[in-house]
Amino acid sequence: MAEPLSAAVVLRALKREGLTTVEHGEWRTHNRNGVGPWGPVHGVVLHHTATSGTDDSVRLCYRGRSDLPGPLCHGVIDKSGRVHLVGHGRANHAGLGDDEVLRAVIAERYGERPPSPNEQNTDGNARFYGFECINLGDGEDLWPDAQLEAAERAAAALCRAHGWQAKSVIGHKEWTDQKIDPVGFGMPGMRERIAKRLAGKPEGEPPTPPDPSGSAP
């Protein structure tokens, strides 16, 4: 069992992995904890937003929809590789999935892919962190290298903080057969990237951008 990381620890873990983060609204306390459990947590789910544009996508993931209140994930990864933090705690992202997949993720023992999901009997929102990557998911919208690297780093950051391996990271479509995301990159290859990153040391916080006014702090 793994207790969820605090908001401060999540932020620190992402920065230690070399990511640029953008904090939105009251993300540290923005969650769905009042309608269901949060934790124990066992892994990370990667998604695509099926939207375009950073501002609109982040706004949607923070606020949610009329039929699905936000937050819709914990972080939104834009095309430039920035991670926009929109929630902490239970989020409406994974939904119901297969308990056999969860067992495989917890054990971190499966082949190239976890077992194929065919049931919706387990609450994924209680068990997984989620990152939404801005992409239309039509197979034509390109995935910039910076965005893929940020997805790799973000997943690795939380795995490193928990002591998990790369097989604790799955795609939404690997959790439930009701979803197709992410489209445009393969999860086996992404897990290979994450495993390589976890084998090394985190790269530390990115340098603070210079003051555009040229004045000293």
Mean pLDDT check: name the lowest of 49-58, 144-153, 171-180, 205-214: 205-214
Rounded Cα gap, residues 91 and 137, in angstroms:
21
| pLDDT, tens digit (0-9, with 9 covering 90-100), for 141-156 | 999 999 999 999 999 9
Amino acid at 14: L
Helix spans in 120-186 (H): 145-162, 172-175
List C-alpha distances in Å: 197 to 2, 48, 135, 161, 184. Answer: 22, 22, 24, 13, 21
Residue 141 has phi, psi (to 5 degrees) of -65, 125
Polymer length in residues for the chain? 217
The answer to whether the beta carbons of residues 40 and 96 sit under 8 Å apart is: no
List C-alpha distances in Å: 206 to 3, 4, 5, 82, 202. Answer: 27, 25, 22, 12, 11
What pLDDT band is residue 206 in, cutting at 50, 70 and 90? low
3-state secondary structure of 12: helix
User: What is the set of domains in the chain, with CATH numbers?
Assistant: 7-199 (3.40.80.10)
pTM of the model: 0.93
